Structure 1
Amino acid sequence: MEHPVPESTRGASLRVTLAGDGRPGPIEERIGRRLVRLLDPSSDEGIALLRSRCVELIGPEGEPLGFLSPEEASCLLRARLERRLTDPGADAAALREGLARLDAWSERLGRS
């Protein structure tokens, strides 16, 4: 079931920082510099906002990713983790765990 973007977000900016494994932190709703509220990204409202592409995504190292869909962000982060797996000095176990978490989050988005 699709959830419309709440009226309260109009005029506010929304952004979320993604962990290296794609898990989003809380969605910040701001008016100017003032934090209005934090939203759980795994709630129905949070997922609806992420899917609406009105939330600015910030990558794991502070890199602005723009207003991507969750699927686009997952693909981008998956490619990044897979590239890092080819690095001989990389912690392969941690990267595989990150890929598994990314898959779990992507599945959650697909089921909602």
Structure 2
Amino acid sequence: MNFGPLLARAQAVAEALNITIFDMRCVKPLHTDMLTDICRQYPTLITLEDHSLAGGAGSAISEFLHTHRMCNRLVCLGIPDEWIEHATREEQLEACGLSIEQMRARILNLINE
């Protein structure tokens, strides 16, 4: 599930791995009907956001899963809650593990676990 401006990256990774992507568009309010349908169809959910992981979209999805007693596996990709050195946007995204290749490799590892 993509939240925000990393959609093109998410689409590239999804196409390379032949996985489904949903553009959630906003965190608040969560589209709970769509999210419930997604949870019923997919045992593993991966969120991608150009935002802090702490208190971000992945946290909102985690809270939703907990509240509704859903047992989906959840993996959140985003900006870690730590200092990110000054650099270009591309360099910062790579430092956070959000390059297309880094995301592809991480998701492949998840699939193969």
Q: TM-score, normalised to structure 2's length?
A: 0.25
Which one has a larger percent helix, Structure 1 or Structure 2? 2
Task: Find the structure with the greater CA-based Rg.
Answer: 1
